[in-house]
A and B are shown apart, each in its own frame.
Chain A
Amino acid sequence: MTFAVEVQQVTCRLGERDVLHGVDLAVNAGELITLVGPSGCGKSTLLRVIAGLEEATSGKIVVGGVDVTAMPAEKRHVGLVFQSNALFGHLRVDKNIAFGLRHLPKQERRERVQEMLELVKLGNLSRRYPHQLSGGEQQRVALARALAPQPPVVLLDEPFGALDEVLREELGWEVKDILTKRNTAAILVTHDRHEAITLGDRVAVMQDGKVLQCDVPRVVYEQPITRFVADFLAVASYVPAETGEQKLVRPHQLEVIAGGPHTVMRVEFLGSTHRYTIRSHDGSTLVADLGPRNPLDAGDSCDVRVLKNS
C-alpha cells in the first residue's frame, strides 16, 4: 500500500547545525500523527522539509506516491497550517481559501470554497477580512485553506499554540473530525503532551533530530522504548521489578497505603484525583494519582503497591 506521506532517512543541515539526522516516518491515508519533542528537537524543521520550505540534505520524501524530494514547495501538493500570522491579511476569507484553487474552473472553485467554509463552520464569515476574526476562527480559515486543494497530507505546526486552553481542546477534536471526514492524513506538531496522546492515532516522539518511537498512544505511553520517551510523555515512576530491572509505572498504576517505609513529600489537588509525590526509603521519587479517599498529608509515612491489570 502507498502512504500519504513517507519520509525516508531524511537529514537536514541548517547553517552549521545538523537539525535532522536520518528521520523515518510514514503516515497512512486518513491517519493523524502527533509529533512531540522538546524545543529544538527538529519537529518544525521536519514539517518544513516535507513542505519544501527547507531542503533535505539527504534522504527521500514521497507525498501521495510521488517522489517530491527535488521539487520546490509550490509543486509538492501538501497542506500546511502555521500557529498564526499565516492568513493573507489583504484578502477576504473566501479569497484566502480560494488561493490554492487557481487550477479549477470558476464555478467549481466557488463550490469548493463554499464546501470548505461549511466544513469548518464559517459559512457566514466568507466576506470578512482575517483581522475581523477571532483567533480560533482564523485557524479554521487556515485549515480550510490548506484542505481546499485536497492535498493527501496536511502538516499542522502547533496550530492551536496561540489559543487559550478551552478553545484549544475543542478545536483539536474538531480538526481531528474534519481530517477523518476528508480522509486526509496529517502530521500535527505540538508541545502539549496531553494533546499528543489524546488526538494522535499514533504519536511520534522526537529527540535531537531523530524519531525515537512512533506508535499508538497506549503503546508509547505504557511501553516507551527509552527512558526519555517515558519521561517526556507523562509523569513516570520507576520501581524495581522481579527481573532486577527498573519497571515503569504511571501514576494511576500505584496504590498508596498509610504507614510504611516511604514518606509523602507533597499532595496536589488535581480535581478528580490527588497526586502524591513520595520519597521512597531508597531515595527515589514515586508519583501516584489517587481518588479523594484515604487522605494522607505531606510528611505522613506510607507504602506503595503496583496495581495489576491497570
Chain B
Amino acid sequence: MRPMRLKLGDMFGWATILGIVALVASPVLVLAWSWRDPSGDVWAELWRTRLPGMISTTAILLIAVVGGTVVLGTSLAWLVSAFHFPGRRVVGWLLVTPLAIPGYIGGFVWLDTLSNVVGARGVRSLWLCALVLIVSLYPYVFLFARAAFADQGADTLAAARSLGLGSWGAFFQVSLPMARPAIAAGAALVAMETLTDIGTVRLFNVSTLSDGVMRVWFGTGDLGAATELASALTGAALLLIACERLLRRGGRQSRASAEKVMSPRTLTVFGNAVVLSVVVVVLTIAVVIPVARLINWSIESNRAGTALTVAGGIRHHAGNTLMLMAAATVTAIVIGTILALVVAHRGRLARLAGRVSTVGYAMPGPVVAVGAVVMLAAVDRRDVLPDSFLLVGSVIGLVYALVVRFIAVGYQGVEASLERVPQPAVESARVLGAGRMRTAFTIEVPAARFGILAATALLAVDITKELPITLLLRPFGVDTLSVWVWQATSESLWAQAAVPSLVMVFMGMFSVGLLLVALERGAELVS
C-alpha cells in the first residue's frame, strides 16, 4: 500500500474551490443564522395579516408564469426545429429578443396601453402581470427546448414514425419526453426570475413574497424582519430546486454522434401562414409594441422638454449601468470559469462544492441583498479596511452582491461547455507535457470559448435588467437605468421612464445578439 501523497497542486485547487464557494455562498448561508433569534412579534403579525395572502399569490403567479412559458417556449421551439418555413433562421433569432426587454418595462407599456381598454383599475391584475412575465421570460424555455430538440437524432424520430406514430404522436410521445430535462431547466430559470421579480409585480399591484421583503425593508427598516421574510422566500426557492431536480431525473440522453440531426419538414402554404402569424403575434406583444411605444414616448417627451428631469441625465445613468454590468459580468465570468476549471476532473465532492456556489441564483434578489449587507456589515465592523472605507453602500459591495446572485449563470454555463470538450484532447495535452494550468488555458478554455461567450452574454443580459439588488445596495449618487425606470414607474410617470428603458433595451439587444452569435458558432463547432 502506497502512502497518501499530499500534492501541492491538489491542495491549491481545493483551497481555490473552498475560497470561492465560501465567498459567494456566505451571504445566503448567514440568513440561516438569523433564525437563531427570531423577531417573533413582527413574524406573528405578518403571519396574522399578510403572509398567507403573499404565499398564495406567489404560488398562483408562479404556476401561471411557469405553465405559460413552458407551453409557449416549447411550442415555439418545436415550430422552429421541426418545420421549414420562410425566414426560419431569422425567426429563430427574433424569438430570443424578448430577453432584452425586462418584465417591468414591457409591464408599464402594457399597463398604459391596456388601461385605455380595461380601465385603470382592472388593468392591475395578477393575470395581466402573469401574461407580461410570460412574454418576457419564455425565451429561457425556448432556448433550452430548441437545443434539446436539435440534439435529438433524426433516427429516433424516424423509428417512432415507423412504429406508427404520426408527427403529433411522435412529438408528444418521443420528442417532448426526451426534451423534458432541458425544458425543466428552462422552466426553473423562469421560476427563479418570477419568484425574484419585484418590478413587474409592483406595477400590477401583485403582492408576492419578494415584494413583501422590499416593503418590510423600506417600510419598517427592520432588517431582522426582512431577513426572516427572506428566509421564507428561500424556502420557496429550495422547494422549486427540488422540483426541478425531480423533473430532470433520468436526464441526459444524447444522440449518437454519427446520427443525423432532425431535419425540418416543409410546410404547406397554409402551414406557413399559421406558423408565421403565431410568431408575429408573439413578437408584436413581446417586442414590437413595447419598443414602438417607448420610442414614441421618448420623442414626445423630448419635444416637450420633460425628458431629462432626473439628476445627472441619461449619460450618467447609462454610464453607471454599463460600468456595473461590465464589472459584475467580468468578475462573475472570471470567477465562474476558474471555479469550473478547478472543479473539473476533481470528482464528485468538488462538483458538490461547486454546486453550493450557485445557491445565490436560486435566491431572490432581495434575499441576496439582505445577506450581502449582513456579510459586508460584519466586515465593516471589524474595521479592517483602510481609511474607514465601508463596503456597505460602496460599488464594490454592490458588485459583490451581483456576483453572488449571478455567478451560477457563469459557472454552470462554463461547466456545461467544458464538459463538451473531448476528454481525449485534454488528456493528450497532459501527456504531451502540459500541466493542469497550461492544459486549462491552451486547450480547455479555447475549446469552450463559445460556451463561455454565451454565458458572458447571458450574464450581461441578466445584470443589466437586475433591479432589487441594485436598488437596495447602490451607493448614493450611483443610479442606474433600472433604478430610474423603477422610480419613474412607481409614480406612474411612464413617459419619463421611456428614455432609460429604451437605452436598456438596446443594451440588452446587443447582449442578446452576442448570445445568439455564441450559440450558433458553438453549435457549428460541435457538429
A residues apposed to B, CB below 8 Å: 51-53, 57-58, 70, 72-80, 82-90, 99-100, 102-103, 142, 145-146, 149
By beta carbon, the residue of chain B nearest A162 is B258
Q: Please measure, in the bound complex, the distance between the C-alpha atom of A76 and the C-alpha atom of B435, giving whole angstroms.
A: 12
Binds A, one of B53-61, B114-122, B211-219, B420-428: B420-428
Residue of B nearest to A76 (CB): B431
Known: A58-B1, A90-B447. A85 touches B431 (CB 8 A): no
Nearest residue, chain A, Cβ from B1? A58
Knowing A89-B525, A90-B446, the reply to whether A74 touches B430 (Cβ < 8 A) is yes
Tell me how far the C-beta of B346 lies from the nearest C-beta in chain A, rounded to whole angstroms: 14
Shortest distance from the beta carbon of A143 to any chain B beta carbon, whole Å: 12
Contact pick for B2, options A53, A58, A88, CB 8 Å: A58
Interchain CB contact under 8 A, A82 and B447:
no
Do residues A51 and B424 form an inter-chain contact, with CB atoms below 8 A? Answer: no
Query: Contact at B5–A70, with CB atoms within 8 Å?
Result: yes
Q: Which residues of chain A come closer than 8 Å to B422, judged between CB atoms?
A: 85-86
List residues of chain A with CB within 8 A of the CB of B147.
none
A79 touches B431 (CB 8 A): yes
Among A70, A74, A78, A87, point to the contact of B425 (Cβ < 8 A): A87
Tell whether, in the assembled complex, residue B425 and residue A89 are in contact, meaning their CB atoms are under 8 Å apart. Answer: yes
Secondary structure of the B contact surface, majority rule = helix
Q: CA of A240 to CA of B93 in the docked complex: distance in angstroms?
A: 76
In the bound assembly, the distance between CA atoms of A1 and B483 in angstroms comes to 78
Q: Are the CB atoms of B428 and A145 closer together than 8 Å?
A: yes
Q: Name 16 A/B residue pairs within 8 A (Cβ), A-sorted.
A: A51-B427, A53-B427, A53-B430, A74-B431, A74-B435, A77-B433, A86-B424, A88-B428, A88-B429, A88-B443, A89-B425, A99-B434, A142-B428, A145-B432, A146-B428, A146-B432
Smallest CB-CB separation from A77: which chain B residue? B433
Residue of A nearest to B423 (CB): A85
Question: How far apart are the CA atoms of A100 and B443 in the complex, in Å?
Answer: 13
A145 to B424, CA, bound (A): 13
Contact check, B427 vs A80: say whether CB atoms are below 8 A apart: yes
For the complex of A and B, 3 pairs with smallest distance between CB atoms? A100-B432, A86-B424, A85-B422
- Report the minimal beta-carbon distance from A233 to chain B, rounded to whole angstroms: 28
Interface mask (B418-460 → A, CB under 8 Å = 1, otherwise 0): 0000111101111111110000001100110100000000000
Give the shortest distance, in Å, between A171 (CB) and chain B (any CB).
18
Q: Does the CB pair A53–B1 fall under 8 Å?
A: no
**Residues in chain A near residue B434, CB distance under 8 A:** 74, 99
| Residue of A with least CB distance to B427 | A53
Residues of B within 8 A of A75 (CB): 433
Among B5, B428, B442, B449, point to the contact of A80 (Cβ < 8 A).
Answer: B428
- Which chain B residue has the least Cβ–Cβ distance from A56? B2
**Which residue of A51, A83, A102 contacts B431 across the interface (Cβ within 8 Å)?**
A51
| B504-527 interface (Cβ within 8 A of A) | 525
Tell me if A78 and B431 are in contact (CB < 8 A): yes
CA distance A215 to B300 in the complex (A): 91
Which residues from chain A contact B2 at a C-beta distance below 8 Å?
A: 57-58
A residues in contact with B429, CB < 8 Å:
88, 99
Among A86, A100, A149, the most chain B Cβ lie within 10 Å of the Cβ of A86
Give chain A nearest CB distance to B499 CB in angstroms.
Answer: 43
Closest beta carbon of chain B to A131's beta carbon, Å: 8
CB <8 Å contact, B430 and A73:
yes
Most buried by A among B1, B433, B442, B525: B433
A230 to B424: give the CA distance in the assembly, Å: 33
Q: Which of B5, B424, B433 is the one whose CB lies under 8 Å from A85?
A: B424
A149, B433: Cβ atoms under 8 Å?
A: yes
**Distance (whole angstroms) from the CB of B231 to the closest CB of chain A:** 39
Known: A74-B435, A100-B433. 19 other contacts (CB 8 A): A51-B427, A52-B430, A52-B431, A53-B430, A74-B431, A75-B433, A76-B431, A79-B431, A82-B427, A85-B422, A86-B428, A87-B428, A88-B425, A88-B446, A89-B425, A89-B525, A90-B446, A145-B428, A146-B431
With contacts A57-B2, A90-B446 known, is A149 near B424, CB below 8 A?
A: no
A89 to B1, CA, bound (A): 40
B427 CB contacts on chain A under 8 angstroms: 51, 53, 73, 80, 82, 86
Q: Which residue of A lies closest to B434 (CB)?
A: A74
Closest Cβ of chain B: how far from A43's Cβ, in Å? 16
Q: How distant is B452 from chain A, measured CB to nearest CB, in Å?
A: 13
| Contact A73 B431, CB 8 Å, known A88-B447, A89-B447, A90-B447 | yes
Please state if A80 and B431 are interface contacts (CB–CB under 8 Å): yes
A216 vs B404: C-alpha distance when bound (angstroms): 63
In the complex, the answer to whether A86 meets B432 with C-beta atoms within 8 Å is no
| Set of chain A residues within 8 Å of B5, measured between Cβ atoms | 70
Nearest Cβ distance between residue A13 and chain B, in whole angstroms?
A: 11
How long is the Cα–Cα vector from A145 to B5 in the complex, in angstroms?
32
Min CB gap B392→A, angstroms: 44
Most buried by A among B5, B430, B435: B430
CB-defined contacts of B449 to chain A, threshold 8 Å:
90
Q: How far is the CB of B424 from chain A (nearest CB, A)?
A: 4
Which one, A57, A58, A74, A87, contacts B433 given CB within 8 A?
A74
Give B1-15 as 1s and 0s: 1 = Cβ < 8 Å from A's Cβ atoms.
Answer: 110010000000000
Indicate whether A86 sits within 8 Å of B430 (C-beta atoms), given known contacts A57-B2, A58-B1, A70-B5: no
Residues of A within 8 A of B424 (CB): 82-86
List A contacts of B525 (CB < 8 A): 89
Closest residue of B by beta carbon distance from A89: B447
Q: How far is the CA of A90 from the CA of B424 in the complex (A)?
A: 14
Contact at B431–A53, with CB atoms within 8 Å?
A: yes
